[in-house]
Structure 1
Amino acid sequence: MTGFIFFFFFFLFSLLFLSPPTLSLTQPEEARLLHQLTLTLSDPDRFFSSWNGSDSPGSHCSWTGVGCDSATGLVTSLDLSDANVGGPFPLFLCNLTSLSFLSLSNNNINSSLPSDISTCRNLTHLDLSENLLVGNLPESLAAIDGLVYLDLSWNNFSGNVPASFGRFQKLEAISLVCNLLDGEFPSFLGNVSTLKLLNLTDNPFRPSRLGPEIGNLTSLEVLWAGKCNLVGEIPDSLSRLKKLTVFDLSENALTGMFPSWLTELTRLAQIELYSNSLSGGLPSSGWSKLTELRYFDASMNKLNGTIPDELTRLPLASFNLYQNSLEGEIPESIADSPNLSELKLFVNHLSGQLPRKLGQNSPLNIIDVTSNLLSGEIPPFLCSKGQLEELLLTQNSFSGQIPQNLSDCKNLIRVRLGNNQLTGNVPEDFWGLPHVSLLELGHNSLSGEISKMISLASNLSGFVISNNNFTGKLPEEVGFLRNLETFLAGNNHFSGPLPASVVNLNQLGRLVLNDNELSGEIPSGIKSMKTLTDLNLANNQFSGQIPAEIGSLTLNYLDLSGNQFSGEIPYELQNLKLNQLNLSNNHLTGELPPLFANENYKNSFLGNPGLCGDISGLCENRVEVKKQGYVWLLRTIFVLAAVIFIVGVVWFYMKYKNFKQVKRAIDKSKWSLTSFHKLGFSEYEILDCLYEDNVIGSGGSGKVYKAVLSNGEVVAVKKLWGSSNKLSNGSDVEKGPIQDDGFETEVETLGKIRHKNIVRLWCCCKTKDCKLLVYEYMPNGSLGDLLHSSKGGLLLDWPTRYKIALDAAEGLSYLHHDCVPPIVHRDVKSNNILLDGDFGAKVADFGAAKVVEVAGKGIKSMSIIAGSCGYIAPEYAYTLRVNEKSDIYSFGVVILELVTGKRPVDPEYGEKDLVKWVCTTMEQKGVDHVLDSNLDPCFKDEICKVLNIGLLCTSSLPINRPSMRRVVKMLLEVSGENHSKSDKKDGRLTPYYPEDASETGSVA
């Protein structure tokens, strides 16, 4: 009896304390809980608009994304993917006790995952991919015993993968793609024996080995671990993964021999091992068992030997072995594949001929065998299925004619047949391929004329036919190619005049026609070719005068040597910012323009007997003045008198100016110069340019001067406000306190930075009382000045503004993520984003920059606020603590400027700034009332996406702002430049491949 009483009380104790029952919510209570979600998350796209209506039981089960059990009426699934909702993770959803499926994919869920997420104990499927989650992965996730599917990809999780993740009981799929996880590679996931899909691609793990434990996952079907910083050899234990269909360890630093046991994994459909350092040869046998293999990529390794015939007999769709050391012939059997669409074997040592029947049985889309030792004729069947878009055969020894059949390949976009031994005429229809953007035939022995059919190639942007035997006239139809950016036709036998229509090519950047037999004059109207940077007409028979309008172009390279040009050199050529000038061996006469009258240009003018200037080698062959008669004598006397008068005036002016400013003279010998790049000028040339007439900008830290140097180069000189006398040449240096911190910070920061989107610091000059910074010159000035000027709407269309935003974001991302230690700019604004001649953006002015001393803890508190009104993050004003989140806020304001066309502060906002004005106006009037009316409405969707990024960057809470690396990714996604995010997340079998590496140095 006593034992029975003890057992009874023990049973009651267990019920009351050890295992409290789970209380299920009623249907109305669940409906109210779901309604709470609509109050918690922001909903700009009104996804929750259907979440209302009748109060009858079960009505919530008809709401969008809500699924209920048919028997109990309780919520079992909640799918809010792609709803564009935002806010913290709604932990209260765990009170839905029957909830087993939860997807919040592709939204703006921010903050971190709560540590008690394990209260969602009935979940079997959890998808939080493509959000803005940060912080560490919670260890408690592994306590959800029934979890089968877990996707946390495309967030900003950092730190280690918790060791508890190795204790999942039923997990079959885990994806952590594209986060910031930087601990050890989690080989302990090999203990989760139920896994079928493991995807850890694109995480910055510290260098780690791929542990042999992964070989314990005998149920694994998909293994993605590309770009995970893996080192060492691939463990042989992976040979036990007999169910594996996808094997991807690409873009790591793996070494050792190519794993021969891969041929034993007979279910493989996809092998990706590119961008490693694997060596040895491919297994010669055993491939025939891989009947499901469709994608094979082992490019960018150190493989040698030959390509196995047994491998190419498989029904491959994509076969990539580029950038290895393979040799021998390409097996003929590759031509029998009924699925082959992509064949990339460039940069190897392959020899022999391309398989004769290649393309006859295959829907070829891309073939690239660039940089091999291949020979023979080009197979005639490459485009038999009509799907070929890229034909890249350059740098081989192909011979014979271009097959006539290729003229029927209307889908061709890129054709590179250069650097071979091709002969004969180009098929007439081949010139007029309607979609081709790059046609490269250079360095062959092709002959004949350019067909007038070229006018049909309306998408052509790169046209390279140099170093051939082409003859005849350049057809007028060349001028109809309005998208043409590069035209290289030098070293041929073209004759006749340059077509007058060529001046219509207003997108053309390079026009190279040297070493032909062209004649006549340069067509008038060449000034309309505003984008032309390279003009080479050397060694032809051009005549007439050099057009003065050439001086209005943006040329960097001008070569008109070896022709019959006559007359004087136009003074307007001095306006050009040339890296190279050559007018030698013509019939030019007269005096050199003053800018060119120095020894630096000696080789530019030789071989012109009638040309004179202060350069040795000129004037030596001119007929003596005495033999020219009385008229020439009078002219000479007049010129000499004029020169003496001008010299006298200049001498008097300099003496007078020197007398007035002698008290402020600075001894040039006291200047010291520190250079950060190879220079072609001295500090004295810089000092000679610091006059008030050369000022192009003035700000809180000093004045900026434009300095045109003797070699034609242009630089920008920033003189910090400081106490100093005038320079000895009378240049302008005002008095005031020297800002040593700004100068030293800018020198220390920019002197060690090398990035295409950071303004280049050439050197610094300083003396006791004055400090100068010499930068590369940015012709289009600052974004702020241009955007808010009357020209902003005309010059800055949306594609240009988008490019500026992306360039600036990449520059800041480099400072935050790639510099060691990271750098915080602290004064990001549109006036500190400078624009080059092509409106490429570069971040400038690092006088307020600071390095992040302790990772994750930001910079210590500042004694003063750095930054500009309208750009300062809210938390900075009251904490004086800054980190990269402050820069992100400021960059968000720049994005809003680009989208709205408005200034960061303006009287029309009242007491608001631009951020608050945008939010208020959107809420009250809609998005159309904040977009710049100068922007083309056809870009509205793209503009709105960038606007959302700007609003995200200007979130009042720093934790809600994305990293700059994330901002760059989001901006790239706006224009579709990123490959699909789902590429490596959902078991797809279409691999992503890197850009065509064979195009290094290509004109395209």
Structure 2
Amino acid sequence: MHLFISLLLLLLSHIPTPSLSLNQEGLYLLTAKSHFDDPSNSLSDWNSRDSTPCNWTGISCSPTATGAGTDAVTSVNLSEFNLFGPFPEVLCRLDNLTFIDLSYNSINSTLPSLLLCNSLFHLDLSQNLLTGSLPSFLSSLPSLTYLDLSGNNFTGPIPGSFSLFPSLQILSLTSNLLNGTIPASLGKVSTLRQLNLSYNPFSHGPIPAEIGNLSSLEVLWLTDCNLVGHIPDSLGNLSKLQNLDLSTNFLTGDIPQSLTRLSSVIQIELYINSLSGTIPSGFSNISTLLRIDFAMNHLEGAIPDDIFEIENLESLHLYQNQLNGSIPATISKSKKLVELRLFANQLTGSLPPDFGWNSSLLYLDLSDNKLSGAIPAGVCDRGTLMELLLIDNQFTGSLPEGLGKCRTLRRLRLANNQLSGPIPDDLWGLPHVSLLELVNNSFTGSISPQISGAANLSKLLLSDNQFSGNIPSEIGMVSNLYEFSADNNRLTGPLPAALGDLTDVFRLSLSNNSLSGDLLRGIQSWTKLTELTLSDNGFTGTIPSELGDLPVLNYLDLSGNKLTGEIPLQLQNLKLNHFNLSENQLSGPIPPFYASEAYRDSFLGNPGLCGDLPDLCPSSRDHASDHHGVFWLIRSIFIVTALVLIIGIAWFYLRYRNFKKAKLGMDKSKWTLTSFHKLGFSEYEILDCLDEDNVIGSGASGRVYKAVLSNGEAVAVKKLWGPSNKSAENYDKASNDAFEAEVTTLGKIRHKNIVKLWCSCTHKDCKLLVYEYMPNGSLGDLLHSSKGRLLDWPMRYKIALDAAEGLSYLHHDCVPPIVHRDVKSNNILLDEEFRARVADFGVAKAVEAIGKGPKSMSVIAGSCGYIAPEYAYTLRVNEKSDIYSFGVVILELVTGKLPVDPEFGEKDLAKWVCSILDQKGLDHVIDPKLDSCYNEEICKVLNIGILCTSSLPINRPSMRRVVKMLLEVCPDDNDNNNNNKSKKAETKDGKLPPYYDNNSEHSSIA
């Protein structure tokens, strides 16, 4: 009896907050709750004093078949509740449970056996942190119709047992780390309606022809699955298929004619592959078809005439192929067409004159072809056109007057054509246009005062035309103007004073015109101006001293004018990459900062200038010769005095150094050296270099010395701080923790993008770590100093990729995985070739250790501006925390700004970037020191940074995925075997691929 009572008490003690009133299902749910961390307190109303859990948040009940009036739990829906912890296996004790949705949480560890959940028909665990292999037991759940495990970290192949699902309709495994190939046996699951396997690093393999046996299939989503080979003809048998997405793979061969038999299909997406041959005709037979995307392949031949006869066609993307011939005249019959992107082909001929009359076009991009003739007069007659992009063609004639009435227009790009005539007055003042690009045509006339109505205009690009007349003062009312370039025109008159009111202007380039008058004064508002080019005009008067107060100006060209007077000394305040005042009428001395050979060409053709530069002011040498003897006497006295001082200082220094070395030498024999690589030096050489003269930096954990060894090799030595005002006990613990973390982590790592730890030396309280030496220091120091201009975009991109590969190795290739916990630009070091290494592992932890450790850290893990937002309420860091910090590093590389700055107000860099993008656009975010020719690549990398700094950890990609996305930014640079330009995941006009931009046209209905 006593034994029975003891067992009963033991059983009750394991039930959380026991209550006599709560039924058994409620007790099971409270047990499930005890498995979770719930920082948002989402389950606060799960109360043990209730009789049933049926009114609890996320819980639904239904009457049971047995027992009148009895309700049982049938649904647990805790999606987006910010829950942390393993999957609670106790849920399967709920006999009537049919629906589980724990998506968008932080459910971790492996998935336990769910065989007891034999009533389950809906299981959604997507967007969590689950690991391990896909459980083979899932196919044994007899009622399961919906299974979504996407957005986790499952590895390994798709189990063969997945072919045995008896009634599965939805299978979604997207965005995991699955390998192997897509099994042909999935073709046996005849009940499937959706098969979503996208964004997995499968081994290279074909699309199984057996997929064509899934007669009920409505969605086939296989984007970015490393698919190779031909598209099987059997896919044409999928009569119920609505969405076919095979994009971003390595598929070859023709587009099968059988795809024209997909009688229910709504969209077909085959972009970013290596498909060749011609586009088959016959798609006009599919009345349901809305969207076709065959972009970025090797397709050739003409566009089929009947493609524009598809009854409900809304969007057609065929850009970046090798299509030729003319655009079919049937395009004018396409009544529902809203988006047409055919750029980067070899299309010829003219557009039908009635094009645009029948369709409500929103986006039209025909750039980079060989199209000719006039722009159709009715291209915006339906009043909906937002983008008209015709750059790099051979269009002729004048612009249609109707474009001036196109008030929906946002982007107009007509550069590099043969267009002529004046611009319609109304077009200058369209209220929503942000980019007006008319470069390299033969346009005439003047800039209309109606430009004052262009409230949203940020880029006005008019160079290489025949525009004449004055720049109207109304241009000062275009408050968002960011770039104004009108080089090589026939503009006349003075610069309007209203130009000084443009607070956001970044680039002002008006070279080779006939402008005259004085240069503008009162330009203090140009705080963002980086380039001012006014060369080859007729400007007179003096150079305004206010130019020297512009904080970010780095390109100044005033050459080829008639400027007079002296060069203002204030120009020495500028940090100029380009400086040219040549061919003017300047006089007086050259400011001392510029009086060097490096700036010689900046002042040529100004006979009145004086300075120390030979040939610019020869008479100054004659004047100096009068005092030649006195000068040499004074210099001799100075040299003798200096030598005496130097000898004295050297004598005292050597005495001090020998004393210090002697003191250190007494203890050399007591040092313990632990090596992690084969060494070519001893600990004694290291100790001899610990001089104050060799200090190259210091931080929170210690001081760093540069040690040059006898073999000529340089190493970096970190000496961890000794006890100061802290208690010895606290110091010893913190110091030992940091030392052990660094040694344990780096001692076993072998990776080209992680700094190499040669050895460690210890003696009593003194601990030394010896690393490979990085001559270019840290990324943070270089990027945010005056040397930041050394880092051009290709170099910054490579640094980001190197660092990402190092972190990916820590997260995915180390066993157990390692979390760095202090990723920042100052912990990314650069070697002599600017290759990046991740460094400073003083607070790194293995994931296993983090899981076993306390819930909160004893010290802050991370640095200000880099700490993930969830740290504030969880006090925990994991791989997702590192990914957030790395995202901030990407934003630093793109913007050139610090992670925290008074400019941001109460925001950090991540929040500032998002707010500026929303308010002012991309151009206000990119570092002005970067060449704009890389803006497309920069834009893609920026989006990766924004994705990594998502406020929700689950939305951040894994580091392995980050590396893959970065590699896709410049595939031609990163893969010598990839000569396929069509693999570039961006259109000519700066569009982003689907996984960078949720608003991209490459979206899927899956």
Query: By the TM > 0.5 criterion, same fold?
Result: yes
Correspondences of 1:298-377 after superposition (within 5 Å): 298-314=294-310, 315-377=312-374
For the pair 1:138 / 2:135, whether they are aligned, the reply is yes
Provide Cα deviations, 1:203-251, integer angstroms capped at 9, x if missing partner.
Answer: 1212222222222223222111011111122223323323222111100
Question: For 1:102 and 1:897, how far apart are their aligned partners in 2?
Answer: 29
Question: For 2:293 and 2:469, how far apart are their aligned partners in 1?
Answer: 46
Question: For 2:384 and 2:991, how far apart are their aligned partners in 1?
Answer: 27
Question: For 2:865 and 2:718, how far apart are their aligned partners in 1?
Answer: 31
For the pair 1:774 / 2:776, whether they are aligned, the reply is yes
Gaps of 5+ in 2: 1-20, 655-691, 722-741, 756-770, 786-796, 877-883, 885-899, 916-941, 958-982, 993-1006
Shift of 1:281: 0.7
For the pair 1:90 / 2:88, whether they are aligned, the reply is yes
The residue that corresponds to 1:969 in the other structure is: 947
Question: For 2:955 and 2:91, how far apart are their aligned partners in 1?
Answer: 36
Tell me whether 182-191 or 168-177 shows the greater mean CA deviation.
182-191
Correspondences of 1:84-233 after superposition (within 5 Å): 84-114=82-112, 116-233=113-230
Shift of 1:969: 3.5
CA contact (8 A) 2:398 2:419 kept: yes
The residue that corresponds to 2:559 in the other structure is: 561
Provide Cα deviations, 1:14-41, integer angstroms capped at 9, x if missing partner.
Answer: xxxxxxxxxxxx9922233233334433
Question: For 2:578 and 2:836, how far apart are their aligned partners in 1?
Answer: 40
The residue that corresponds to 2:542 in the other structure is: 545
Provide Cα deviations, 1:854-894, integer angstroms capped at 9, x if missing partner.
Answer: xxxxx9xxxxx9645xx55597999999xxxx9x9945875
The residue that corresponds to 1:720 in the other structure is: 705
The residue that corresponds to 2:988 in the other structure is: 998
Question: For 1:822 and 1:602, how far apart are their aligned partners in 2?
Answer: 54
Shift of the 876–212 alpha-carbon distance from structure 1 to 2, 3 Å rule, reads closer
Shift of the 815–77 alpha-carbon distance from structure 1 to 2, 3 Å rule, reads same
Shift of 1:148: 1.1
The residue that corresponds to 2:587 in the other structure is: 589
CA contact (8 A) 1:813 1:968 kept: no
Shift of the 42–162 alpha-carbon distance from structure 1 to 2, 3 Å rule, reads same
Question: For 2:601 and 2:434, how far apart are their aligned partners in 1?
Answer: 37
The residue that corresponds to 2:808 in the other structure is: 817
Query: One-letter code of the match for 2:123?
Result: L
TM-score in terms of structure 1 length: 0.69
Shift of the 899–185 alpha-carbon distance from structure 1 to 2, 3 Å rule, reads closer
Question: For 2:435 and 2:693, how far apart are their aligned partners in 1?
Answer: 46
Shift of 1:297: 0.3
Shift of 1:513: 0.9
The residue that corresponds to 2:293 in the other structure is: 297
Shift of 1:489: 1.2
Question: For 2:990 and 2:631, how far apart are their aligned partners in 1?
Answer: 53
SS in 2 for 1:395: coil
The residue that corresponds to 1:41 in the other structure is: 36
For the pair 1:29 / 2:20, whether they are aligned, the reply is no
SS in 2 for 1:312: helix
Which of 568, 573, 576 is equivalent to 2:574? Answer: 576
Correspondences of 1:820-969 after superposition (within 5 Å): 829=822, 832-833=824-825, 843-844=828-829, 867-868=841-842, 871=843, 873=845, 890-891=861-862, 895-896=866-867, 969=947
Shift of the 722–972 alpha-carbon distance from structure 1 to 2, 3 Å rule, reads same
**How large is the Cα RMSD of the aligned pairs?**
5.2
Which of 420, 423, 427 is equivalent to 2:420? Answer: 423
SS in 1 for 2:807: helix
The residue that corresponds to 1:243 in the other structure is: 240
Which of 444, 465, 470 is equivalent to 2:467? Answer: 470
Question: For 2:447 and 2:750, how far apart are their aligned partners in 1?
Answer: 53
CA contact (8 A) 1:281 1:306 kept: yes
Question: For 1:389 and 1:59, how far apart are their aligned partners in 2?
Answer: 53
Provide Cα deviations, 1:642-689, integer angstroms capped at 9, x if missing partner.
Answer: 987997798567656654566789xxxxxxxxxxxxxxxxxxxxxxxx
Question: For 1:62 and 1:48, how far apart are their aligned partners in 2?
Answer: 8
Gaps of 5+ in 1: 1-25, 627-632, 666-691, 704-718, 726-732, 755-768, 784-805, 835-841, 853-858, 860-864, 906-914, 916-930, 947-963, 980-992
SS in 2 for 1:564: coil
SS in 1 for 2:492: strand
Shift of the 978–159 alpha-carbon distance from structure 1 to 2, 3 Å rule, reads closer
Shift of 1:492: 1.1
The residue that corresponds to 2:78 in the other structure is: 80
Question: For 1:939 and 1:735, how far apart are their aligned partners in 2?
Answer: 33
Question: For 1:384 and 1:190, how far apart are their aligned partners in 2?
Answer: 49
Question: For 1:978 and 1:873, how far apart are their aligned partners in 2?
Answer: 20
Tell me whether 84-93 or 362-371 shows the greater mean CA deviation.
84-93
Shift of 1:371: 0.5
Shift of the 649–333 alpha-carbon distance from structure 1 to 2, 3 Å rule, reads farther
SS in 2 for 1:263: helix
TM-score in terms of structure 2 length: 0.69
Shift of 1:44: 4.1
Question: For 2:700 and 2:955, how far apart are their aligned partners in 1?
Answer: 38
Shift of the 995–204 alpha-carbon distance from structure 1 to 2, 3 Å rule, reads closer
Correspondences of 1:256-267 after superposition (within 5 Å): 256-267=253-264
SS in 2 for 1:34: helix
Shift of the 511–197 alpha-carbon distance from structure 1 to 2, 3 Å rule, reads same
Shift of the 298–408 alpha-carbon distance from structure 1 to 2, 3 Å rule, reads same
Which of 263, 283, 291 is equivalent to 1:287? Answer: 283
CA contact (8 A) 1:479 1:502 kept: yes
CA contact (8 A) 2:194 2:217 kept: yes
SS in 2 for 1:590: strand
Question: For 2:190 and 2:483, how far apart are their aligned partners in 1?
Answer: 57
CA contact (8 A) 1:722 1:736 kept: no
The residue that corresponds to 1:412 in the other structure is: 409
CA contact (8 A) 1:486 1:508 kept: yes
CA contact (8 A) 1:822 1:851 kept: no
CA contact (8 A) 1:828 1:890 kept: yes
Shift of 1:413: 2.1
Shift of 1:580: 2.4
Query: One-letter code of the match for 1:997?
Result: T
Question: For 1:227 and 1:900, how far apart are their aligned partners in 2?
Answer: 33
Question: For 1:661 and 1:898, how far apart are their aligned partners in 2?
Answer: 53
Shift of 1:826: 8.2
* Count of aligned positions: 794
SS in 1 for 2:412: strand
CA contact (8 A) 1:50 1:64 kept: no
Shift of the 496–556 alpha-carbon distance from structure 1 to 2, 3 Å rule, reads same
State the identity as a percent.
Answer: 40
The residue that corresponds to 2:791 in the other structure is: none
CA contact (8 A) 1:101 1:125 kept: yes
Shift of 1:549: 3.5
Which of 52, 60, 66 is equivalent to 1:66? Answer: 60
CA contact (8 A) 1:565 1:588 kept: yes
Shift of 1:95: 1.0
Provide Cα deviations, 1:561-580, integer angstroms capped at 9, x if missing partner.
Answer: 11112233334434433332
Shift of 1:373: 0.9
Shift of 1:544: 2.4
Provide Cα deviations, 1:508-558, integer angstroms capped at 9, x if missing partner.
Answer: 222111111112222224354232222211101122222334334323322
The residue that corresponds to 2:928 in the other structure is: none
Tell me whether 810-819 or 257-266 shows the greater mean CA deviation.
810-819
Question: For 1:875 and 1:482, how far apart are their aligned partners in 2?
Answer: 51
